[in-house]
Amino acid sequence: MAESLRDIKRQTQAVEKTKQITRAMNMVAASKLKTAQTRMENFRPYAKKIMEVLNSLARRVNTESNPLLTVREAKKVRVILMTSDRGLCGGFNTNTIKAVEGFIKYRTGQGQEVSLITVGKKGRDYFRKKATIIDQRVDVLNNFDISLAQAIGEEVIPSFIDEEYDELYIAYNEFKNVSQQRPVITRLLPVGSVEQEKEEAEVYGDYVYEPSEEELLAQIIPMYLRVLIYRGLLETSAGEHGARMAAMDNATNNCEEMIETLTLKYNKARQAAITAELMDIVGGTEALAKG
């Protein structure tokens, strides 16, 4: 009995330590999430403005004038997959990976070739043997700014123009809230016709353009791509921390539950040991009295 008591105690202490770690991770994730969210919020006005300008320009310019707007028959498809570098964040990466896997299966079934560019370790590790990875970037999400999006943009744009591939997609987890992330796969290239908010377009009608509309468009499309890639990075980073926060919160709760059960078990075992000892003593005295 005594040994089992000690075992239970040891187990309780181990769980207690795990709980400390998960709680600390939860708090770290929470503070990182806050930073990531602030960045997302600061970025939004910029992104919105770029879209507005692009929309108004795209409507006025002949789409054949720019190779990035040209739609070709899709034979080769490329996907930028964004996942986190580290685990312990629940189903965060699994969800995106599943979505991309389904996408690859579907596209391959249609006779298209799919290749990947991965950002983050998890996606790369999963697809290393299962798909063609053109390029990978790992350990970048911890500390990044717009130049990362720019570097990715500079890599994908020339190869699209050289017809190395015909369509470009981006896959990441959209950050909805702490406990909810939704995998999204959207097309980046060719840039789709962006027709919305017709009335607003009229406001832009009388602008003087400097340089010409075509040249402006040629400059703004790469910027627009950068914006979309950067948004993907921000969402991934916020989503990762959010998911980890939720996962660690769960883990902490589970630890607490386990500690409770173990404590109860310990108390019961202790009580049983005391009862057994008492029985021994009582039995002993009774035997003496009889003699």
Partner 1 sequence: MAEELMLEIVTPEELAFSGKVEEVTVPGSEGEFGVLIGHVPLLSAVKYGELNYTQNNKKTYFAIGTGYAEVTDVKVTLLVESAVEADEIDAEEAKREKDEAEAELSKIGKDDPDFQKVSDALTRAEVKLKVAEKL
In the region spanning residues 69 to 98, those forming contacts with partner 1, defined by CB under 8 A, are: none
Find the shortest distance in angstroms from Cβ 236 to partner 1.
Answer: 16
Contact 120, 232 (CB under 8 A): no
Asked if 206 interacts with partner 1 (CB under 8 A), we say yes
Contact 97, 153 (CB under 8 A): no
Find the shortest distance in angstroms from Cβ 102 to partner 1.
Answer: 32
In the region spanning residues 186 to 205, those forming contacts with partner 1, defined by CB under 8 A, are: 204
Asked if 261 interacts with partner 1 (CB under 8 A), we say no
* Alpha carbon distances (Å) from 91 to 66, 95, 99, 123, 199: 40, 6, 12, 13, 42
Asked if 61 interacts with partner 1 (CB under 8 A), we say no
Q: Which of 2, 208, 287, 289 binds partner 1 (CB under 8 A)?
A: 208
Residue with tokens 């006779």: 111
Measured from the CB atom, the residue of 237 and 252 that comes closer to partner 1 is 237
Contact 83, 119 (CB under 8 A): yes
Asked if 49 interacts with partner 1 (CB under 8 A), we say yes
Asked if 43 interacts with partner 1 (CB under 8 A), we say yes
Contact 244, 89 (CB under 8 A): yes
* Alpha carbon distances (Å) from 268 to 17, 21, 251, 281: 23, 28, 26, 20
Which H or E run contains 221? Answer: helix 213-290
Measured from the CB atom, the residue of 211 and 291 that comes closer to partner 1 is 211
Q: What size, in residues, is the chain?
A: 291
Residue with tokens 């181990």: 14
Binding mask 139-178 for partner 1 (x = CB under 8 A): ------xx--------------------------------
Asked if 53 interacts with partner 1 (CB under 8 A), we say yes
Asked if 134 interacts with partner 1 (CB under 8 A), we say no
Residue with tokens 């703004």: 220
Find the shortest distance in angstroms from Cβ 189 to partner 1.
Answer: 20
Binding site for partner 1 (CB under 8 A): 39, 42-43, 45-47, 49-50, 53, 57, 145-146, 204, 206-211, 215-216, 219-220, 223, 227, 230
